[in-house]
Amino acid sequence: MVAPIAVAIDAPDIETAARWASSVAPHVSTVKVGLELYLRYGPDVIASMRGANKVALFLDLKLHDIPATVAGAARSVARLRPSILTVHAAGGRDMIRAAVEAAPETRIAAVTVLTSLEDAALEEIGLRGPAHDAVRRLAVLSVEAGARALVCSPHEVSSLRAEVGPDITLITPGVRPAGADKGDQARVATPEEAIAAGADLLVIGRPITRAADPGAAAATIAAALRRASTASA
């Protein structure tokens, strides 16, 4: 059984991306293409990720603009049939709704507060914190605007679940196996903690892609999640 993990394929070139995708694909449900690859290669990178891999495609463009522009952008990429497309919740209610209406076949995921930000950073940019409250505010607004998925850190998952119910997909980056380098992530937890908190899909990049063998790293995390779910059953 594949694990509910979206591997962030943040690779510098399409050859590396294709190699990482095919090595992790047997172990995970999803691969995520973000700005680094999409801005360089556009739709070609999506085709290359799909290739022979039977994985869902998560397109992480974090759209954030006026509603008409976001609607146009969402319409442009909807024809690529990504299973998930991200927008920034901070773009506001009308912008989120515009994306949802423009891409009805795609699950629009609203990014609440980036997992790289902690409370001091929120204060600096003038977003009323603490992070936990800002995430809740943005999540409620996003769901009211029609978003069916939310991106938050593992720290906010259990309270968001209580707030938005079982039908909204909760996606958490900021995931680090015990002992792994946090890098630029601020609000982090282990894969087991994120799933126990109620996350539906874990976004994991560098702990897998920067390992000597990305396929083995993905398999190890997937096995740890299976063990944790058997132990809690």
Ligand X SMILES: O=C(O)c1cc(=O)[nH]c(=O)n1[C@@H]1O[C@H](COP(=O)(O)O)[C@@H](O)[C@H]1O
Kindly list the residues in this chain that would bind ligand X in the complex (CB under 6 A). Answer: 8, 10, 34, 60, 62, 86, 111, 114-115, 151, 173, 183, 185, 203-206
Catalytic residue among 13, 65, 182, 184: 65
Among the listed residues 13, 44, 60, 167, the single catalytic one is 60
Q: Is 65 a catalytic residue?
A: yes
Phi/psi of residue 71, each to 5°?
Answer: -60, -45
Active-site residue identified among 13, 44, 54, 62 = 62
Closest approach, Cβ 230 to ligand X, in A, equals 25
Cβ neighbours, 10 Å, residue 126 = 6
Q: Output the smallest distance, CB 209 to ligand X, in A.
A: 7
Cβ distance to ligand X smaller for residue 10 or 53: 10
| SS3 of the chain: helix, strand, coil, percent, to 5 | 50, 20, 35
The CA distance from 8 to 37, in Å, is 11
Closer CB to ligand X, residue 48 or residue 86? 86
Question: How far apart (Å, rounded) are the C-alpha atoms in residues 29 and 106?
Answer: 16
One-letter amino acid at 198 equals G
CB of 148 to ligand X, least distance (A): 15
Q: Which is nearer to ligand X, 22 or 209 (CB)?
A: 209
Q: Is 182 an annotated catalytic residue?
A: no
Per the structure block, which two tokens stand in for 51? 């290739």
CA-wise closest residue to 18 among 7, 2, 29: 7
Q: Find the shortest distance in angstroms from Cβ 233 to ligand X.
A: 27
Q: Catalytic: 60? A: yes
What is the closest distance, in whole angstroms, from the C-beta atom of residue 203 to ligand X in the complex? 4
Q: Helix or strand or coil: residue 53?
A: coil
Residue 207: phi and psi, rounded to 5, are -60, -20
Q: Considering beta carbons, is residue 48 or 156 the nearer one to ligand X?
A: 156
Q: Which residue is nearest to ligand X (CB)?
A: 205
By beta-carbon proximity to ligand X, the closer residue of 132 and 233 is 132
β-bridge mates for residue 8, sequence order: 32
Detail the residues annotated as belonging to a binding site for substrate.
10, 32, 60-69, 115, 176, 185, 205-206
Handedness of CA 126, 130, 136, 137 (dihedral sign): negative
Measured between alpha carbons, how far is 218 from 198 in angstroms, rounded to an integer? 20
Which residues are known to be catalytic? 60, 62, 65
